[in-house]
Amino acid sequence: MKQQSKQQTIGLGLAGLGTVGSGVVIALERNADLISDRTGGNVRMAVEKVLVRDPAKPRPVTIDAAKLTTDWREVVDDPAVAIVVELIGGTDTAFEIVAAALKAGKPVVTGNKALLAERGVELFALSREHDTPIHFEAAVAGGIPIIKTVQESFVGNRIHSMIGIINGTSNYILERMTEAGLDFAEALREAQELGYAEADPALDVNGWDAAHKAILLASLAYGFAIDPERVHVAGIEQVRPTDIEFATRLGYVVKLLAVVREHPGGEVELRLQPSFIPKSHILASVHGVFNAVAVHGDAAGESLFYGRGAGQDPTASSVVGDLVEAARGLHSEHGHRGFLPYREDGRLMPVEDTSTAYYVRFDVTDRPGVIAQIAQLLADAGIGISGTHSPVDPESPDAEFVDMVFLLHSCPFGQLSRTLEKIEALDCINSAPVVFRIERL
């Protein structure tokens, strides 16, 4: 009879005990036996040290007060801690914690997409130098295992594109604007009341939360570091009911869409913006706070990954999955785990060179000749017009200021941007034009 090996306890250092951190503790306690069985029946994970801002704050989980600290160094330096979990967010203290853990040879699990998108090059270099892995499944799309999919399941594929909805807060707001006719402020307030949006929702609605995730996916898929400053990002703050109504009438829905696509010359297109997508496309059916990523590989073809993109349980699920992988690798030749750059010639396509059709809304002073003035400048630039419309407010039929909508044929974004600068200079234009991409997916 085979003798059962002695049970091993793996100590965890947890930086952050907020929503996700508490979820991780709950999941580890709830599924302790299951996790042990799936790691060979001899592994137990124990939280040994926890970084918190206020040790006296009531929490949904019970942690021995002696294990709480307000000094992150105690988490990393504790000899009982074998794996460090960073869940505090931000890019300053979080960077110090992760860097110190890697230098100490302690594997790191993090869900911090901003940290990895903005300072990942430095951290992954430390990971290689100290042969200590970083696991970050929770950084993109909550409980959807998209990181492992790109790193492992698609390792034999050339990935042609990854197109997705990867911010649940924005998706919820846009859906409520569509279904309930709410304006942006009303839908945002509802999302905050339901806990889907933070008190400060800036990163969700301005597009940068999703952009950080898209940067990580693109880096993994195409093998080179991407500078966030070179990525085109536009949020949903300027979406109005008028835009939603037009999209609906034309057979589209408005989604905050991440587009990652490799072009034949090897350039990678990466952009994040509100877009019109056809109602017939599967991404149009992604509702509420759910996320979805459509991946097109040359061998696998089209695949769709769908699930909850945020929240305590889905994100904790990804963190615990990474913890199990980190535990399995503690006593093996795991090597580097994380971003493995393999291209020195990787290049982002300038957003000015990317082409789609467009929906453009102008705030104009309503007077004769306005449409002709705008149309002439578009014609001079060689940009075709497929339709124009100026909705009339029945409560103010003689309003001096109105919205004017133009639907434009496909052209390079740079060509459109230069033309819009000229149009904005017209004395009949009252504010910067609002642009939505019309995507062919």
Which residues, other chains included, contact 403 with Cβ-Cβ below 8 Å and sequence gap of 6+?
240, 242, 361, 362, 363, 364, 390, 391
Q: Which pLDDT belongs to residue 400?
A: 67
Measured CA to CA, the distance from residue 375 to residue 162 in angstroms comes to 35
Q: 209 pLDDT exceeds 50? A: yes
Q: pLDDT digit string (tens) for 213-265?
A: 999 999 999 989 899 999 999 999 999 999 999 999 999 999 999 999 999 98
Q: pLDDT digit string (tens) for 373-397?
A: 999 999 999 999 999 987 655 555 5
Q: pLDDT digit string (tens) for 21-45?
A: 999 999 999 998 888 887 776 778 9
- Tokens at 351, concatenated: 């957003």
Measured CA to CA, the distance from residue 397 to residue 394 in angstroms comes to 5
The CA-based diameter of the chain, rounded to the nearest angstrom, is: 93
Q: Which pLDDT belongs to residue 263?
A: 95
Q: 74 pLDDT exceeds 60? A: yes
**pLDDT band for position 1 (cuts 50, 70, 90):** very low
Residue 171's nearest CA partner among 269, 308, 77, 72 is 308
Q: Which pLDDT belongs to residue 334?
A: 54
Q: pLDDT digit string (tens) for 153-200?
A: 898 899 999 999 999 999 999 999 999 999 999 999 999 998 888 888
**pLDDT band for position 2 (cuts 50, 70, 90):** very low
Q: Which residues are identified as catalytic? A: 213
- Tokens at 74, concatenated: 């105690």
Q: Quickly count: other Cβ atoms within 10 Å of residue 28's Cβ.
A: 21
Q: Which pLDDT belongs to residue 339?
A: 56
Measured CA to CA, the distance from residue 312 to residue 327 in angstroms comes to 22
Predicted structure pTM score: 0.89
CA 25 vs. chain centroid, Å, equals 24
Measured CA to CA, the distance from residue 241 to residue 174 in angstroms comes to 10
Count of all residues that appear for the chain in the document: 441
Query: Rounded to 5 degrees, what angle do the CA atoms 18, 23, 27 make?
Result: 155
Which residue intervals of 280-352 are DSSP H helices? 312-329
For the chain, give every domain's residue range: 8-142+313-329, 146-309, 352-438
Higher pLDDT, 340 or 363: 363
Yes or no: is domain 352-438 CATH 3.30.1120.130? Answer: no
- Tokens at 370, concatenated: 């306005």
Classify domain 8-142+313-329 by CATH number: 3.40.50.720
Q: 76 pLDDT exceeds 60? A: yes
Give 259: exposed, middle or buried? Use CB within 10 Å, 0-12, 13-18, 19+. buried
Query: 146-309: CATH homologous superfamily?
Result: Dihydrodipicolinate Reductase; domain 2 (3.30.360.10)
Q: Which pLDDT belongs to residue 3?
A: 47
Q: Pick from 84-88, 339-343, 394-398 the range whose average pLDDT is largest.
A: 84-88
Measured CA to CA, the distance from residue 403 to residue 360 in angstroms comes to 10
Percent of the chain with pLDDT over 90: 71
